[in-house]
Chain A
């Protein structure tokens, strides 16, 4: 018989752990807060490691901060490239603008920015990026001695190592909880530079670690195999270890992915929000955890594992041939309106669905629930019973109240 046990809270309730979301633009930022992020990290149009993301102008950073602070939430801005001589032009003014916008901290990997802030009396808190590959408590003490507020640790650390760092330094420690992994220690990889001339540490990473190569031995004989060599790693998913992460005193859980979709951000953030809140409220059960894990497994187009937390990664944590990166079709529609009198839901379609499909709806203000899709109508009231065109406005009747920006997806589990 399947058991359903409660996972009792054993952490420190004085300071609730922060759920930190990626946001590639203002819309994604608002979605992330709506779905439960306590803070978002964003990139400006310069000096940020996701050079190919849309990124935020200064006026958008101002808007993001105002929006977030009104919700009592935080905004961190990445200034995390490794600077070359030519890159510092305009940096001081940019940092002053960030200070004026009242960003809650900047995330840096190149530490001279700390000196610039101090020399120019700029009011900004500093978080050290994972790109600096901080791995031990003495390195954390070095950052602490410079007045840094927080260190985002390298992703290669185990629970034991992280706990020792926290216990010995008393420093604010942030770690990754979900998303893509670098195969190398971050910052110590310039494969992209050598293979494509795109600068890995200045936002141009071409993800060479995911390429496949024939492998040759020392006599330059090719290793015979239909599977080529790759350094590619599966993604990170720490859902089952949230309890332990909270218990050892990590202050912030970071979700990777500033270039991910609204649906991805909403789903991942909503799920981790639920796990965290359930755990703090002594409502986290093994059955709920099974469901949360299924949701997270479905949302990404890559497999995800625990990576370094409880052991060194093995072949099980690597990707070789046979993976399927088909785009996720679970995301069916977004709610744009709910009429309490007529009980009609208005939605914007994203992926194909039809009357009779078993779907579920989730959102920041509702408990996730499933239902059978009833008759579907177009904007003129014609019965169509199918949603086939992305961005099409459709309606259907639902007795249970839902809210704008709630999301309809394929039923999971």
Chain B
């Protein structure tokens, strides 16, 4: 039996989402997450106090030295709260958690850097019990990881996945170059008729995958924490479709059943 975990899109939706048959929320904390919805840590602690559902704080931004003091402050506040888990990308936060004796469970969300049984065993043995598994391996490999490690696996089944993260202000730079005003807060590029969202924030630029929707495969996914990421998606009724396992039209499924090419034999490009 899988759990359903939701990354909310708006603060005003949180109550409604919590009233649905889901198991928990992942909420970005202000200044340290990549999610468009970021709340003050006090607000997240209050949500965790008021529900019996599992609340995770996301601190999954790329962390520079200047961010570390804020990390410590937030961890200190989380320490004695009802927050159950902390989602991290940066191993510096893991180091701080150890030094501060934070006893909350961690979810490692390294996007594309953690993609094998061995890597997951490595982190599990170091004390990280949960992983938001990478989006660029097929489900068969995720199953192998699940079966051959003790990791509690989170898997994004709906949402736009970050597939490129730069410290550069790529949209600002582009509009400056073409001498035009940047009027919008969302831009897109296309490849093979698929739409890729580009978002610039104060910490850099992220390009997202096309909208992944694994609804039609939901019954195949066993004993996972299925993540519905509502970032940049407004209709929360999608959660009900996952709860009810409703079939839908064919959707983009990313690498669910596709492997990437490792080596290109005989390809001499760039030499």
B220 within 8 A of A: no
Considering the complex, which residues of chain A in the window 211-239 have a beta carbon less than 8 Å from any beta carbon of chain B?
Answer: 213-218, 220, 223, 225, 227, 229-231, 233
Question: Which of B68, B90, B94, B209 is the one whose CB lies under 8 Å from A194?
Answer: B209
Interface status of A185 (Cβ within 8 A of chain B):
yes
A251-300 residues with Cβ-Cβ distance < 8 A to B are 259
Whether A318 contacts B111 by the Cβ 8 Å rule is: no
C-alpha gap A200/B117 in the complex (Å): 19
Shortest CB distance A249–B (Å):
16
CA distance A314 to B170 in the complex (A): 9
* Interchain CB contact under 8 A, A135 and B112: no
User: Which residue of the partner chain, among B93, B118, B166, B271, contacts A184 with CB atoms under 8 Å?
Assistant: B166
In chain B between 60 and 99, which residues have their CB closer than 8 angstroms to a CB of chain A?
62-68, 90-96
A130 CB-CB contact with B under 8 Å: no
CB-based nearest A residue for B268: A52
Size class of the B contact interface (CB-based, 8 Å): 35 or more
Residues from chain B with Cβ under 8 Å of A315 in the complex: 172-174, 176-177
Please report which residues of chain B, range 114-160, place their CB below 8 angstroms from some CB of chain A when the two chains form the complex.
Answer: 114-119, 121-122, 125, 135-137, 141, 144-145
Interface stretch (choices A66-74, A136-144, A348-356, A394-402):
A136-144
A199's contact among B163, B187, B262, by CB below 8 Å, is which?
B262
CB distance from A311 to the nearest CB of B (A): 12
Residue numbers in B under 8 Å from A53 (CB-CB): 271
Neighbouring B residues of A191 by C-beta, 8 Å: 163-164, 207
Q: Are B119 and A145 in contact (CB under 8 A)?
A: no
Bound form: Cα–Cα A24–B116 in Å = 28
Question: Closest CB of chain B to A165's CB: distance in Å?
Answer: 7
Contacts of B233 in A (CB 8 A): none
Contact partner, A83, options B96, B118, B170, Cβ 8 Å: B118
Q: With A189-B163, A199-B136 known to touch, is A145 a contact of B95 (CB < 8 Å)?
A: yes
Nearest Cβ on chain A to B17's Cβ, whole angstroms: 24
B window 150-197: CB within 8 A of A = 162-170, 172-174, 176-178, 180, 183-192, 196
Q: Quick check: B183 and A188 within 8 Å, CB to CB?
A: no
- Within 8 Å by CB of B187, from A52, A136, A218, lies A218
Q: Which bucket holds chain A's interface residue count?
A: 35 or more
B62, A185: Cβ atoms under 8 Å?
yes
* Cross-chain contact A215 with B186 (CB below 8 angstroms): no
Of the residues A116, A142, A200, A218, contact of B91 by C-beta under 8 Å = A142
Residues of B within 8 A of A137 (CB): 65, 68, 92
- Smallest CB–CB gap between A385 and chain B, Å? 33
B117–chain A nearest beta-carbon distance, Å: 5
Q: Which segment of B20-28, B50-58, B253-261 sits at the interface?
A: B253-261
- How long is the Cα–Cα vector from A114 to B121 in the complex, in angstroms? 12
B184-A217 in contact (CB<8A): yes
Which residues of B sit under 8 angstroms from A259, Cβ to Cβ? 270-271
Query: Of A202-210, A358-366, A368-376, which binds chain B?
Result: A202-210
Closest to B175 in A: A223
Q: Shortest beta-carbon distance, A148 to chain B, in Å?
A: 12
For residue A110, CB closer than 8 A to chain B, the reply is yes
Which residues from A are CB-within-8-Å of B165? 184-185, 188-189
Which residue of B90, B170, B270 contacts A52 across the interface (Cβ within 8 Å)?
B270
Is the Cβ of A51 less than 8 Å from the Cβ of B262?
A: yes
Q: Which of B64, B137, B176 is the most central at the interface, judged by chain A CB atoms within 10 Å of its CB?
A: B64
Cβ-closest chain A residue relative to B142: A85
CA distance A164 to B166 in the complex (A): 22
Nearest-neighbour CB distance to chain B for A56, whole angstroms, equals 15
Is the CB of B263 closer than 8 A to any CB of chain A? yes
- Whether the Cβ atoms of B167 and A216 lie closer than 8 Å is no
With A52-B268, A201-B113, A216-B188 as contacts: A164 and B178 at CB distance below 8 Å: no
Docked complex Cα distance between A84 and B164 (Å): 20
Q: A136-B92, A139-B92, A214-B190 are in contact. Are A198 and B264 (CB under 8 A)?
A: yes
A215's contact among B111, B114, B119, B189, by CB below 8 Å, is which? Answer: B189
A138 & B68 in contact (Cβ 8 Å cutoff): yes
Of B186, B190, B270, the most chain A CB neighbours within 10 A belong to B270
CB pair A318 B115 closer than 8 Å = no
A187 and B112 within 8 A (CB)? yes
The residue of chain A having its C-beta at the shortest distance from the C-beta of B96 within the complex is A138
**A312 near B168: Cβ-Cβ < 8 Å:** yes
Given the known inter-chain contacts A137-B65, A204-B261, A318-B177, please indicate yes or no for A217 contacting B183, CB distance below 8 A: yes
Is B113 in contact with A109, judged by CB distance below 8 angstroms?
yes
A84 touches B116 (CB 8 A): yes
Ranked 7 nearest A-B pairs via Cβ: A138-B92, A139-B92, A199-B260, A112-B122, A213-B189, A112-B118, A315-B173
